[in-house]
Structure formats: structure tokens, C-alpha cells
Copies of this chain bind each other. A is one copy, B any other.
Amino acid sequence: MPTYHKPEAKTIQELKDIAHKLRIDSINATQASKSGHPTSCASIAEIMSVLFFNTMRYKLSAPRDPSSDRFILSKGHAAPILYAAWAEAGLFPVEDLMNLRKIDSDLEGHPTPRLNFIDVGTGSLGQGVAVACGMAYVGKNLDKADYRTYVLVGDGESAEGSIWESLHFAGYYKLNNLCVIFDVNRLGQSEATSLQHQMEVYRKRLDAFGFNAIVVDGHDVEELCKAFFEAASTTDRPTAIIAKTYKGKHFPNIEDLENWHGKPLGDAAADVVAHLQKQIRNPGPIALAPPSPQKESAPKVSIKGVELATPPAYQKGEQVATRLAYGTALAKIAMNNDRVIALDGDTKNSTYSDKLRKAFPERFIECFIAEQNLVGVAIGAACRDRTVAFVSTFATFFTRAFDQIRMGAISQTNVNFVGSHCGVSIGEDGPSQMGLEDIAMFRAIPGSTVFYPADAVSTERAVEMAANTPGVCFIRTSRPNTAVIYENNEKFEIGKCKVVKQNANDSVLLIGAGITLYEALKAADELEKSGIHCRVIDPFTVKPLDQEGIIKHGAQCGGRVVVVEDHYKQGGLGEAVLSALAEQRNFVVKHLGVDKLPRSGPPTVLVDMFGISARSVAAAVQEIIKM
């Protein structure tokens, strides 16, 4: 291990001074905004000072430089001091801090990447470590670069299980380029934290999770400098710096007291600021400059223009599960771009993401059964455009990570989610394994794109498009085999439906997706025998939905629409169609979906029992034809 050299006394003093300046900035900003969390800032003032003015290597000229160290403030409510650190370092004028939380300022209540120095949104607690793990994993294994990743976690949020998923991941993959700092300030929002200042308990837990666990006085800049040095010199494990701190440190009559969470200091502010100013030895400009990255260690990469290495190659009518086509496409897009990666949570042999692992083992990240971390790692891996990440598990298990996906949208992530085993058509495994709310969930993510391909050809194209589409993409794949219905050279567009059956005299428009497209087709064929002609469309994307196409074809069918989906009736394809038609008079829609809790049984029996088979579609057509 390299030898530690204590910083000069002058540096130590300046780091102390900076900590107090950051405290004052945080107080002033939250006074101006009349809301915010100054006491949560105060407990980390020395940590921020040491990180931003002594330890981290980064460029003010390029805050998202790929070779720079990363910093994630997992306890996002301490945003004011993060903004203050960047301002005091010189990124923007300190006076701008007074715009905190204003409608026309990007200095929001919690950090978001609207700011050029923020990688991910934080504020929903317990998510920063997963993101940091994704960054550190990429840094170590893909970039093979020397940048380090720091993540600052509150003690309150360390009760979140997601944190422990991520710590386990970091320990398992020996992410020695990761440093997790715990701000153990003893106080939560509404009472003391469960562990308060039991530093030894934290140490034991982190040690058991595979970390080099160092307990420090979080208000002692010297101890912090040394601990960060030790972290950077530890080669076999990630490091946890467990900092004993006090909420509202150096705020007289406020420090370590309850009932000061999330409140500006109000009338107490002036006295506190005066007190803090007295602690500062050198009130002049800050002399310390942030250390720069030693070299451009991260390789230049491109994540644009991802393409299938070879076009889809199926026979029409061939029976292929869309989940299998996903695996095939994933391996194909990975051939031409070495930044395509896949992550899974021990379901890779069911989702078929293992096809990428077989082809490119170094680009597959097994995250084991821990979906929150799985999603967070993917978001971290995709930061700064380092990778094109595809993350897969059973569709319904993404509910486990809904909060992470929601925050992913705030983080402007481009991660692609692939959920297999949707709907009652999975069969015997029963309701716990059936994705029946996944479309509702992903539709409610701002800016998301939701693909629901019915056959293997469209699935391969969905994968290719998702890789190139900004924002959260979701691809819903099915467990049963479905017939290939598209030519291998068929062109697909996001927001454009496909008409898979039509006649001039169609009187009802049927809309199905995935397995229900086939039920709709079967019903249409059957109805044709009795002279009822139905047009059938495959939406391809549920969001955006082809509003224009549906209105046009629906109108041509007398305004009669039947939608059938293997999903609960709330928030899925049916309601997407209803939204598209909302402002149209003279439409009627029959909506078939799963409307009660399903059970175990054979797929085809369940599809029929829960009212989404061809039989039910035909019955709905017989009714709507009279409307």
C-alpha cells in the first residue's frame, strides 16, 4: 500500500474553512428558498470539503468528463451543499445558490441531471449506491480506467434494503474503485435513526458485506483525508467510510437536536451564520483547486447507430417465443457495438439474456435476485453514455424496482428494460409470476417508449430501436411461442401500428398485442365465416400509440373497436386506446383484459377463463356490432 502523507497544516485549515463556507452557503440558500434541509447539509460539510477540494479528481471544464471521478449524493435532500461545493470550486457563481428551488432555476430541491454536474436524480432514498456500483463496475471492467466513484449515503436511508443489495454486489465484484461514505448523523426525519451512533454495528455489517470498513470522525478533515487515501489504496475490496457526524453540526442550539429536519433555520439563521463565520480563519477566496484527473484514462466510445448484425431470419409461420427473439437480437446488436451490455437477476435462462453472455461474457452483468440493484446498476452503467444497457427479468419483477425506474426517468436514463413472462399466458406458475401491471407501470414513466411486439421479427426490430431511442424503453416479451407473421424485411416505426388483416367492408376494428393479437386474428377468421369482417391491428408500440392510425382505421370500421390484452384492464393497452380516442365522438370501445386475480393452470385454459381468448373477442364483436 502506498504511504500516506498528511496534508500540510495550511491545507487542513483551508479544508476546515471550506466546510464552514459550505455550511453558510447551505443556510443562505435555504433561507432564500424558505424550504430545504440545512441541518442535513451541515453533517456532511467536512466530507464535501475534503472530497471536492482534496480527494476527487475532476474537471470543472467538463463536469461529466468520462475520465473524472464520479460523485453521487444518495441523500439527495442535502442538495444545497452539493450545489455549494460545485459553486465554491468554481463551476458557477456562488450567488446563484440563492436561486435554490426557484421555478426558473435548475438548482432544484433534489439534484437532477438538468444540472450539468449531476449524473442521476436522487431524492428517493437508498438508490445512490446501486448507481455508483454500475459506474464502478463499468470503470473497472469495461473502461478499465482509473476514475473512482464516491457515493454519500445518509444513515436514515441505510435502512433501505436496496442499499444492502448494492453493498453485496460491490463486495461480490470486489469494486475497489468504489467508496461508499455513510453520514451517520443519528437523526432521521421524524425521530432518531434505529441505530443512532452505534458505529460498531455499522462497521460489523459493512465488514460482513465485504467492505474495507473504516469508522471516522466525520467532522475531522484530517481523518477524512487519510480514510479516502486508504480507500484509494485498497485494491481487493470496496471501502466504506463510516463517518460519525452530527446533524446541524456547528449550528448552536440546533446541532444534534430533533425537529430540525427539512427546515430552514428561519430566525436562528443570522446567529448561526455569524457563529460559523467566526470559525473561518481565512475568509478570503479559496486557494485550493480541485485535483484534476491524471490522464484521459477512459476510452472514447460511441453508443450511437446500434444495429442488428444480421436481419431477422425466420420463416413465416414459424413458432418462436418473443422472449427468445429478444435474446437473439441482443446478441446481434452486441456484435457491432462493444458497449452493448446486458444485466439480469438470475433469470437469464428464462429471459434469454444468456444469449449475450454466451457470445460476450465480459459484457454480461449477473446481478442475482435483487431487482432494485439490478435496475440501479444498469442506470449507473449507462451514465455518461458509457454503455447501451439492456436489463431483463420477468415483467412483473420490475414492480420491485418501480421507484428506481421512476427515478431513472428523472435521471434521464436511456436504459432499456425487457420483461418476459407477461400475462396469464405463462400458465401454471400462477399469479405471482405473471406480469399484469407492467404496461401500466412503464406507461406512467415520463418520456418512456413501450414496445409490445407480437412476433420474432418485430421483437428483433424493437430491440434494435430501443437501443437507439432516448429515455426509458420497455419491451414486453411473452413466454409462449407465437407464429412469425412479418416478413424479415418488414419495416417498423415507433408509434406506427401494423394492419395485419383488413377488408374494404370491415365493421369492427380489433386491437391485440403479443399473444392476444393471435386471438384477435383467430376471432376475425372465425367471424368472417358468418359474414362479419374485422380489421386487425398490431400496435407494435403501446406508447407512443399510433393515435392517427387507430382513429383512421376505427372510423373506417364504424367507430367500433375491440381491444384485447393479456394485462389488467387498468393502465394497459385498452386505456391507451381509449386515451387516443378520447376526443373522438362516435366511437365505442369494448375492452377485454384480465379483470380479476388469476390462478395456476394451463396457458390456453387461463387465456380463455380470463376472457381474452378468440371466443371472448368474437362475443365482444357480436355485441359491438349492434352498437
Binding site for B on A (CB under 8 A): 33, 35-36, 76, 101-103, 105, 108-110, 112, 114, 121-126, 156-157, 159-166, 168, 172, 188-191, 193-194, 201, 204-205, 207-209, 344, 346-350, 354, 366, 368-373, 396-397, 399-400, 402-403, 406-407, 409-410, 427-433, 436-437, 440-441, 443-447, 543, 559, 568-571, 574-576, 578-579, 582-591, 595-597, 599-602, 605-606, 609, 627
Contacts and interface: CB of A to CB of B under 8 A. Distances in A.
Contacts of A576: 570
A445 B441 CA distance: 12
A560 to B, nearest CB: 10
A112 B599 CA distance: 9
Given A172-B194, A366-B191, A433 B109 contact: yes
A123 to B, nearest CB: 3
Given A400-B124, A431-B112, A583 B588 contact: yes
A444 to B, nearest CB: 4
- Please tell me how many copies of the chain the complex holds: 2
A125, A191, A600: residue with the most chain B Cβ atoms closer than 10 Å:
A600
Given A101-B601, A112-B599, A575-B579, 11 more contacts: A103-B600, A161-B162, A161-B370, A189-B350, A190-B366, A193-B368, A201-B208, A205-B209, A208-B208, A402-B437, A402-B441
Contacts of A201: 208
28 contacts: A35-B429, A101-B430, A103-B599, A103-B600, A103-B606, A103-B609, A108-B599, A114-B599, A124-B400, A159-B368, A161-B161, A161-B373, A164-B164, A205-B208, A397-B403, A402-B403, A402-B441, A407-B432, A410-B597, A437-B444, A440-B570, A444-B571, A446-B568, A559-B585, A571-B571, A574-B582, A582-B590, A586-B586
A268 B601 CA distance: 24
A207 B201 CA distance: 10
Contacts of A109: 428-430, 433, 600
A197 B355 CA distance: 28
User: Which of A190, A397, A559, A586: most chain B Cβ within 10 A?
Assistant: A190
A324 to B, nearest CB: 15
Contact of A160 (B110, B161, B396): B161
B597 A589 contact: no
A607 B599 CA distance: 42
A33 B441 CA distance: 32
Contacts of A570: 440, 443-444, 543, 571, 575-576, 579
Contacts of A431: 108, 110, 112, 121, 123, 410
Contact of A372 (B114, B161, B189): B161
Nearest to A410: B431
A432 to B, nearest CB: 3
B156 A346 contact: yes
Contacts of A590: 582-583
B601 A102 contact: yes
Contact of A399 (B204, B368, B403): B403
A433 B406 CA distance: 11
Given A159-B168, A428-B101, A190 B396 contact: no
Contacts of A591: 579, 582
B579 A584 contact: no
A244 to B, nearest CB: 18
Given A396-B406, A582-B578, A368 B188 contact: yes
A410 B596 CA distance: 10
